Structure 1
Amino acid sequence: MFLPVIASFIFISVSLISAGINGELSSPPNPSEGNGNVELQHVLSQLQELQSKFDVQQQENSQLQTTINQLLSNLNQLQTTALQLQTNVGQLQAVVASQNATISTLENQSTSSMQTKLDALESSQNASFRNLQTSFANIQDRVTELDDVNMELRSTLSKSQDIQHEAMTIQGNVTDFLCEHFTHSNISVTGNVTAGTAVIRGRDWTYGDQDGHDHVRGVVMDKHTPPGLKYVHWDNGLENIYRVGYAGGFDLYYYYPDVLGKFRHVICPN
């Protein structure tokens, strides 16, 4: 309220000063009366003094107007803050009213109702605990059963390993026997075969009827070949080089008619 009053006061002061200056100038001195030049100089001096005062007053008025504008801006901010505070107060009042209503509702609930709820909750917890105990007992039983199964599996694995070891021993004995007693059987020919040895197509044969046909006899030739390979001359007159261990392949069997259809899986070490 006081800001408009200050502004009015400033306006009146400026108006009065301007009126004084105009009054001084409205009746200029008559040069013909007395010493006119002296009076004129005096008037001019007063006029300059009044002008200086007017300029100072104008500067002060400008500063005062700036201050008034700042105060008005601060007043607007205070009004905005007051409105926000009023809004916050309203929200707090609503929250307090809601809390009071909740407290009133809780106070109105009977003790027996609360006790009933507590009893129901305790009963539910006891039932859950009993279920957990039952589940834990079942898990323990399953763990015991798995331990028994694990022991049986270990025992079975040990027996299987023993049987496998015995089978490998028996297979080695059979191989040694065959290689010892059937030097010229249809056992796969290895790289140390000598010239003149009778042979037939073997387990890795991939040459069609190059030998004539199956079970036709050929003879190892005395020709120089790389390791694992041998020359063979067949009864049909053809000759070629064949694998006797090269790159893991065995194209020939030893020829021995009495054991021709047996022991094709055996490969003698020497």
Structure 2
Amino acid sequence: MSGLYNFTVVTALLDIGRGKWAEQTRSYNTYLLYMQRNLRLDVNMLVYMGSEGQPFVQWMRRGRENRTRIVDTALKDLPYYKSRRKKLCVGTSAYNFLSKFSTNGHRRMNAPKALGETTTNSYSWNWGETNGQSLHKAVRENPFNTTYFVWLDAGYGHGQDVHPKDGIWIPQHLFDHPDEITFIQRSPGVLYFLPQERRLHKLSINILAGLFFAGGDQAVQELYRLQQEKFQEWMEEGVVDDDQTMYMLLYYRQPSLFNLVYGDWYDVFKLFNVAKS
């Protein structure tokens, strides 16, 4: 396949009960409202979602049915779901949990907490690797026979006016590095924290988020392989943290796999879009 549609946007949303949490309490319906901006994009889109939200996606993607695939997904389908009740606490960073199915990409600078065994938050240590898992599955299934893949969080932009108004997204320079994964890094950049690599999980750092990343199929699979290795290490060491720390550590381990571009959380369509006259 060639031309405008030689990439697949992958996203996901599950109801994990955030509306009942003490913090980061945006409801599932709120994230559906955020998600509609993604769903308006005129792109190939693969959506991992529970049954309760699928009618909304189908309605929003009317007229683009041939470029839409919805994969029925439940909490039990997530990686390491069976280990969700393991009690984990890591120094000052046990609170750094953002659902990769519904995240705002920002860490809150409040006091850290240990995780209990029965709270909804006990699911959260799964989420950090879910975007990589979803892209891995997307590459393997590749329903649109594309070469490039983009992860875009369901709530990307949090309702802000950051998407193309006409829904037309023609990525520019995003796939210039097919053998690398492109991330957006915020100033002062990932390398600034290299001296603190061993204690990243104890810090609150807003530098590299998994709200968005993109690359060729082989690069995506290599990222997934590295992610699985690191996640196993975390399990063995009793470390818990979010995807941001994960990807920073993977960059330190294999920088040649990464293409880091300076920007801010919601700059995807500003940095990687053909200018319209």
Q: TM over 0.5: same fold?
A: no
> Which structure is higher in strand share?
2
State TM-score, norm by structure 2: 0.16
Structure of greater relative contact order (alpha carbons < 8 Å, 6+ residues apart):
2
Give the helix-richer structure, 1 or 2: 1
Which of the two has higher C-alpha Rg? 1
TM-score, normalising length: structure 1: 0.16
